[in-house]
Amino acid sequence: MTDFKKKLSDVLGKSIPQLTQEEILAMIEIPPNSEMGDFAFPCFKLAKVFRKAPNLIAEDIATNLHKGDFIERVETAGAYLNFFIDKKHFIKSVIGEVLLKKETYGSSLMGNGKNVIVEFSSPNIAKPFHIGHIRTTVIGNSLYKIYKFLGYNTITINHLGDYGTQFGKLIVAYKKWGNEEEVRANPIPTLLKLYIKFHEEAEEKPELEDESREWFKKLENKDEEATKLWGWFREVSLDEFNRVYNMLNIKFDSYAGESFYSDKMPDAVKKMEEANILKKSKGADIVDLEEFGMPPALIRKRDGSTLYITRDIAAAIYRKETYDFYKNIYVVGSQQNLHFQQWKKVVELMGYDWADDCVHVPFGMVSLEEGTMSTRKGRVVFLEDVFNKAVDKTKEIIKEKSPNLEDLDTVANQVGIGAVMFQELSNNRIKDYVFNWDKVLNFEGETGPYVQYTHARACSVLRRAGVSVEDSFKAELLVDDVTLEVVKKIQQFPQIIKDSQRKNEPSIITRHIIDLAQAFNRFYHDHPILVEDENLKKARLAIVFATKEVLSIGLYLLGIKAPEKM
């Protein structure tokens, strides 16, 4: 596809040899509305160069500019040059590339095979996979797809919470009140009840906390009974988690959780000692971070047991040695900001120059209307329940609106689950929000089902046309403003993907495909497509095909299916 911004910088460069092409490119803007042109160039910066008022400079450049065949006209507005690209040239270039590249439109080799790790989801073993896990899961999966689409070798890691004192608590609870048959029949709810009971009992009997610490210490020391129980809890939990991952069509390259690094932590601590950054404080080992404006990082407790930070440092070292990552991305809630700042600083102080390649991608918290979620108090909403309810509601809507739809169950799954995922990815990831059933199950307006339905509508038109779409269409038949708005959204899409990757923000794609769907539906409403005029029909079908491809790619990058019938 023609890079019109680059071509424009070439043209401007001949009139402004005092600036480099990179400088000119950086100065070119996209006006806030199309009436002001397709591109704008501000001349304020040139006042010192030409020793003239910016508005006069703009007029001089406009008068003497050699436009070339791709610029329709140039207008001045004060200190701005506004450029209008030749519509026929623009449409032919953009739609022609989509017809050529199809499902690879917007993809890139910019990643050049560099290894990028995306760690996401990471639920705690023996605890519910609840609505609080949805953001890390769908954001992480989307980032994985975006990086891969741009040519990076992307590796997904589910850093399971399968270590720590909570396992001591669970072992104590199971040994005192547990039943093997109940756990096997209904693993997570049963283990959750035991975990809640432990905390209720521990309020009256604090000695249970000491007992749980002893069992965790046994687990660290590879005690046979502790290890066997821990392995069983992990196995039944993964079976439960995988049921949800299968619903989302998410797979991981590695399930190496916290326990995987238990034998790697002593070496990490040794490296800290060699770097001379460990200090004793009340019998514990710490790294003093006061000069960096942070509290001390507690590396090892008085009893010799380790903490999250120790494991995360050991994990980062292992990943660098194993994958030689270009980026090591952690999709973890914003409440862990300090934790990531601390361990990254410790890694830097250990002498590792790749510390800055470890990137924390934070997101806002999900709470319930009755307050913050709490596993200890049993105040959670199971993620599987959310998806099942969304699918059930979708079935009701489809039966009402499309009673004869083939493959109802498949489409209901794609639309219902897609609706929940799309909502999670439609807002800036850093925003907190309160989970509300009505909002999750509302499919009206700017939603996933709206985009999916627009895709299905485009597929339906192409099926009814019964002809193959070719790049020999007449672009001059598509130069009206409504059609042009669709083409502009399609043209912007490759850059939207790159912006989403650069900011680690999938909502940029979500917002864009909503805008494209809205623009296409205006086009569909205003312009009959399957008309008798063959040339006009071919031209409009090219727009339909290109829209379908971009919506499909956009949904794919969000981890959402694009049904062809709804």
Domains of the chain: total? 3
pLDDT band at 378 (very low <50, low <70, confident <90, very high): low
Residue 458 lies in a domain: yes
Residue 512 lies in a domain: yes
pLDDT at 325: 98
**Domain co-membership, 45 together with 176:** no
**Domain co-membership, 197 together with 50:** no
Parallel/antiparallel/unpaired status of strands 297-300 and 284-287: antiparallel
Q: Which of 87, 127, 345, 360 is catalytic?
A: 127
Q: Name residue 85's beta-bridge partners.
A: 71
Tokens 């990137």, residue located: 359
Within a 10 A sphere around the Cβ of 3, how many other Cβ atoms? 12
Which residues are CB-neighbours of 233 under 8 A, at least 6 positions away? 125, 126, 167, 170, 191
8 A C-beta contact, residue 146 and residue 506: yes
- CA 426, CA 418: separation in Å to the nearest integer? 12
Give φ, ψ of 56 to 5 degrees.
-70, -35
445, pLDDT greater than 90 = no
Total length of the chain: 566
Q: Which of 85, 103, 136 is the last residue of a domain?
A: 85
In 3D space, the residue among 52, 57, 54, 29 whose CA is nearest the CA of residue 44 turns out to be 54
- CA 128, CA 382: separation in Å to the nearest integer? 7
Does the annotation mark 127 as catalytic? yes
Beta strands in 130-277 (DSSP E): 153-157
Question: Mean pLDDT, to the nearest integer, of 469-478?
Answer: 92
Does the annotation mark 360 as catalytic? no
Report the CATH number at residue 474: 1.10.730.10
Within a 10 A sphere around the Cβ of 72, how many other Cβ atoms? 16
Decide: residue 241, CB within 10 A, 0-12 exposed, 13-18 middle, 19+ buried.
buried
In 3D space, the residue among 538, 231, 243, 546 whose CA is nearest the CA of residue 383 turns out to be 243
pLDDT at 260: 93
Does the annotation mark 130 as catalytic? yes
pLDDT band at 310 (very low <50, low <70, confident <90, very high): very high
What DSSP line would sit under 40-102, residue for residue? EEE-GGGHHHHTS-HHHHHHHHHHH----SSEEEEEEETTEEEEEE-HHHHHHHHHHHHHHHG
pLDDT at 401: 87
pLDDT at 125: 87
pLDDT at 422: 94
Q: CB-hemisphere CA count at 13 Å for 412?
A: 22
Question: Mean pLDDT, to the nearest integer, of 332-357?
Answer: 96
Domain range enclosing 69: 4-85
Q: Which of 7, 45, 89, 130 is catalytic?
A: 130
Q: Which of 87, 92, 133, 148 is catalytic?
A: 133
Q: DSSP letter at 292?
A: G
Q: Which of 59, 85, 111 is the last residue of a domain?
A: 85
**Domain co-membership, 393 together with 527:** yes
Question: Mean pLDDT, to the nearest integer, of 377-405?
Answer: 86
One-letter amino acid at 95 equals: I
Question: Mean pLDDT, to the nearest integer, of 274-287?
Answer: 94
Report the CATH number at residue 27: 3.30.1360.70
pLDDT tens-digit map of 239-266: 989 999 999 999 999 999 998 998 899 9
